[in-house]
Structure 1
Amino acid sequence: MVTLAVVLGGIGSLVAWYLSNEGYLPGDAMVRSWSAQKDRAGEAGTADDNWVVGDVAVRSKDDAVTGYGIAAGQDGKKLWEYVPPGRGEICGTAEHAGTGAVLVARGAAGGDVAGLPGAGCTTILALDAKDGRELWKEEAKPAKDAFGDAVPGSAPTLDARGDLAVVAQDRRRPEPDAQGNPVRQNGKSDDVTLRGLDLRTGKLRWTAELPDRCGPQSVSMGEKRVFAVLSCDAGGRDEREVSELTVAAFDRATGALAWNAPIDDRRPLDPKTAVGIESVDPLVLSVGAAPDNPATSNPSASEAGVFVPFDANGRPGPVIDASRDKGVINAGDRMQTAVAGDRLYALSGYWQKGNHDIVVAFDLKTGEQVWSEEMDNPAPALAVLDGRVTVLNEWSTQAEAITTVVELDPDDGEELDERHFRDEVPGPVGGMYAHDGRLITASQGGGAPFTAYERW
């Protein structure tokens, strides 16, 4: 009898383990609620963007912007689709939620004119998030030089939050310096602009006065301020000796400049350095290496780069190194970091007979690691949802099928829940959202653009 009980217990454990890992054990599973209609064949892009506006999930690719209903009963239904006329392409998007509107930029095929990158991305328009109808449109002609030829210029950088849209543009023409490297030269006053518009009407609210010889490279909007990474040239009223990247804050209501601070407070940051805005409330930047100089002009930045937080007055906080004792945080990849409160959460990946990931939490005020939690399997995506650090896990260290979701306590990293997907999550994952108790994942590339899951 004892032997039989042991055998039956072993069989029961194996059955429970199998049911759990396959998502068939109640209280331990994630069940698919719905999947949005698959993309048309051949439509998959390499730079898909996605975000949620109210009850609409938006997918933007180079050939179309599409809205999917995620409210109760809509089940990912395609509500509308905007396709640029002719052979135009989507060349810019505002990925933050606005008040029921979607802000995009469109231009010529490839976003260029006569092979010049950015020169043809000149039309900005707002679409109603519910039905995709055009609310307003702003068109401009490609910038030209004294001879009437189109010149290269960056595509506009967009953001939207609440009822405000922000459009940043730097169309200064690059000129070679003494070493033959391209350097942006100050041009006409309208070559560099940062404007605030009414998101629903397109009416101009303010035009920011940018620092001398500086142009916006990226922009992101917080609750009270608009933040922009600026590329500033040497010379000008401030007698800047070298060109560098800075970060500036502008008043959200008026566009007035609050402050403009060096990203590295010890020495100028090379304008070729990759800088991303990880968070705006609080402001956190990811600073990588210049493409042709891994050491960069910032000696504190390794090839992996660093994270730099700023306080409300533009003072940089302790730097957090992306290269860890075990693993590297790759801020250049999607879904690798998340900021909530005064914490930065990140995935630190390393190779050891397969891919492995560690979830690490940092205190932004001190720069110190607060806790770390190693995942049993690779973790391709992380987000903070409903007050929990939510991490997707793959099936094994050498397989890319996403089969598990793990939720961690943001305070100490303690595991609060682990559930297994009955159906594999379409990947690669480019976004995760919590909506009406469901987990919604966004897939980059082909297949279903959005899929919703619920606990079972």
Structure 2
Amino acid sequence: MPKQEDSPRDGDGVLLDSVPEHIKNPSEPDPGEPGGSAPEEAAGGPLSRARQRAGVGAARAGAAIRRGASRGAGALGSAGRAMRSAVPASRRGRAILLGGTAVVVAGAVVGGLALQAHLRDDRLRAAPGGVLTLAGAPSEAWQVDLGDAVQPRIVPLGHVAAITVDGQVLGLDPATGEELWTVEVLEPDAVADGAGLRCGPSRLTVGSVAVRTATPSDPLVCVTEGTAPEVVVIDAGGDAERRTLEPGDGDAPAGAGAAPVHAPLPDGGLAVLARDQTPLDVGDARVVEDDDGIAVLKGRVESAPGLTVRVEDAATGEVRWGPRTVAFDPDLEGTSCLVWGDDGPELDVLGELTWSADERRISAAACGISASLGTADGTPAPGADQRDGALVPWATDDPELDGAFVPEWEDTRDVLVRTADMTVTLTEKGQVTAYDTETGDRRWTSGVLGKDAAAVAGSAVFGAYTDGRSAMLVIDGPSTGGEGQLRLVGLDLDTGETVWDVAQDEPYAQIASVSGHLVQVNGTGVAGLATGE
């Protein structure tokens, strides 16, 4: 396999992609000054199957850095007081002292800037959609060929890019593509018979395309499908444990139509969704076609099984909460009770659930059922795109940033990016608009979706990522007038100006940010995207 590129690290092993070279190495000339030169990139080694543990978590590293910063500030203050009380009287003595003071002050400035860079990198690693840098147009940094693998998927596992492929989970370093470990969840014969995996939380999608990077799992929970059901729990070092799930695990009554749904959660949890024991009585409900050939539901379903939801520990089966019951509601409107069979439209009361589950919410819908429960405790939760009435951004540069409230004048479809002082939205008309988070004043509007933006607003943007200074939007090429099947577009957050627009020939599969690095599924496997200058 090709050699991989290593990213620069400091003495603690922390990536310093956002630190200028003249700050990391103050004795060297600034590359931007006369006589300066850009550092050469070190070549990495070949792919390795050596099992490695993930690095220290961002939260602990950030806490340690903050404690160190506090102690450093105190020491500098004491040193300053001591120097003021011992200023030499002679001119030469003062000159020598001032020279030494300049060195101390310069060192403090360099240390402070490096500290800020550390903290910024930690925030970006932990933030949804956070990328260490978007200073340059994306280019392929590494590639792992997965052969004829069918629909590999990227699931962040701590600081590891976990790749689900053909019954296996591969752990890759997102910066270099180095293979850290492999866990075989399914036997090759089971995969050949159609068995598959569902690993990690499911997020909001446009059609079948995920628009948000899933919250990093710790550990990663996988459920087998199309075979004897098992749950497999994998930690960031590649260690795994299994538990068999009973095929009828749950409260589904006879004839309910489907086995329970087992939905992995990012914190080692497993949501179990099943029908309750309420008897089915379709009453006088029936499907008819009007004069225009449109199928409609007439009459009323008297009763039908509702839905039970519980969350348990995936490794042990211990129940965390539940079950919570969502009763069947015959007055819910919609077409989920209608299906098209061989002979035309039919009534289907016990059809399959449409569901999603992540760190915030477990949602499910079917004929007469609409459920939205908070993942933490099962209490009723707001709509799929909201948290406490605010829209949840696709990407932020700080994990502490939460939902964004949009101005009343903003006809908002989604919040794409949020920073401390700016919110970037996608409007119903297909405009990408930025406004001041505090005042609501509009800052800029971009027509990056092209002249037919309003028609494609709901399906043309597949993802958003940010480093706090720029945003990268993943956009459908053909529907927005761009070249190629996919566009990766960089926007300057200060001005809204398009700073780069990269066309890719392959249609969109998946792009995820893992520990501050972009990883992409492509036609031959998985690739890392470099976005530095």
Category of TM-score, reference length = shorter chain: 0.5 to 0.7
Q: What secondary structure is seen at the aligned counterpart in 2 of 1:152?
A: coil
3-state SS, counterpart of residue 432 of structure 2 = strand
Deviation track 1:105-155 (CA, whole Å, cap 9, x = no partner) reads 11216xxxxxxxxxx8x4322123332x43232411247999977832453
Counterpart check, 1:32 vs 2:140 = yes
Match in the other structure for 2:40: none
Deviations for 1:280-312, whole angstroms, at most 9, x for unmatched residues? Answer: 5876489xxxxxxxxxxxxxxxxxxxxxxx999
Query: Unaligned 5+ residue runs, structure 1?
Result: 1-26, 110-119, 234-242, 264-276, 287-309, 323-328, 351-356
**1:106 maps to what in 2?**
224
Letter aligned with residue 227 of structure 1: R
Match of 1:442 in 2: 520
Structure 1 counterpart of 2:262: 156
- Hey, what does 1:372 align to over in structure 2? 445
The structural deviation recorded for 1:195 is 1.1
Residues 169-213 of structure 1: CA deviation (Å, up to 9, x unaligned) = 1335877463247978237xxx6232142x6x4352522252552
Task: Please state which structure has a larger fraction of its residues in strand.
Answer: 1
5+ long unaligned stretches in structure 2:
1-134, 203-213, 287-296, 330-352, 394-401, 454-459
* Residue 433 of structure 1: how far off its partner (Å): 1.5
Query: In the TM superposition, what are the counterparts of 1:242-257 in structure 2 within 5 Å?
Result: 243=368, 245-249=370-374, 252=376, 255=377, 257=379
Asked if the contact 2:221/2:234 (under 8 Å) is kept, the reply is yes
Task: State how far apart, in whole Å, the 2-side matches of 1:105 and 1:320 are.
Answer: 41
| Amino acid paired to 2:465 | V
1:389-434 CA distance string (max 9 Å, x none): 222465982532556541331xx6533x72466x958541422316
- Is the 1:56–1:67 Cα contact (8 Å) retained in structure 2? no
Corresponding residue of 1:52 = 156
SS in 1 for 2:145: coil
- Choose which of 481, 487, 512 in structure 2 pairs with 1:397: 481
User: Which residue pairs with 1:185 in the alignment?
Assistant: 304
Q: Is the 8 A contact 2:155 2:216 kept in 1?
A: no
Letter in 2 for 1:75: G
Tell me the SS of whatever aligns to 2:237: coil
Secondary structure, in 3 states, of the residue corresponding to 1:208?
Answer: strand
Q: Displacement, 1:102?
A: 1.4
2:137 touches 2:532 (CA, 8 Å); kept in 1?
yes
Separation in 2 of the partners of 1:68 and 1:443? 14
How many residues are aligned here?
326
Q: 1:420 to 1:213 in 2, by over 3 A?
A: closer
Structure 2-normalised TM-score? 0.47
* Higher RCO (C-alpha under 8 Å, 6+ residues apart): 2
Deviation at 1:232, TM superposition (A): 9.1
Higher helix share: 2
Percent of aligned positions that are identical: 11
CA distance in structure 2 between the partners assigned to 1:392 and 1:106 by the alignment: 31
Q: How does 1:135-150 map to 2 (within 5 A)?
A: 135-142=241-248
Which of 511, 522, 532 is equivalent to 1:431?
Answer: 511
Which structure would you say has the larger Rg?
2
- Contact 1:381/1:429 (<8 A) preserved: no
CA distance in 1, matches of 2:308, 2:473: 40
Contact 1:93/1:103 (<8 A) preserved: yes
Note closer, same or farther for the CA distance 1:100–1:249 as it changes in structure 2 (3 Å cut). closer
Distance in 2 (CA, whole Å) between partners of 1:285 and 1:420 is 26
Corresponding residue to 1:69 among 172, 178, 181? 172
Deviation at 1:158, TM superposition (A): 2.5
Identify if the C-alpha distance between structure 1 residues 364 and 204 changes in structure 2 by more than 3 Å, giving closer, same or farther: farther
- After TM superposition, the structure 1 = structure 2 runs for residues 11-410 of structure 1, keeping only pairs within 5 Å, are 29-35=137-143, 37-41=144-148, 43-45=149-151, 49-60=153-164, 63-70=166-173, 74-77=176-179, 79-85=181-187, 86=190, 87=193, 88-91=195-198, 93-94=200-201, 96-97=214-215, 100-108=218-226, 122-131=229-238, 133-142=239-248, 151-153=257-259, 155-161=261-267, 164-172=268-276, 176=282, 178-180=284-286, 185-186=304-305, 192-197=308-313, 201-204=315-318, 206-213=320-327, 218=355, 220-222=357-359, 226-229=360-363, 231=365, 243=368, 245-249=370-374, 252=376, 255=377, 257=379, 259=380, 277-278=384-385, 284=391, 337=416, 345-347=424-426, 358-361=431-434, 371-375=444-448, 381-387=462-468, 388-392=470-474, 397=481, 399-402=483-486, 405-409=489-493
Describe the SS at the equivalent of 1:210: strand
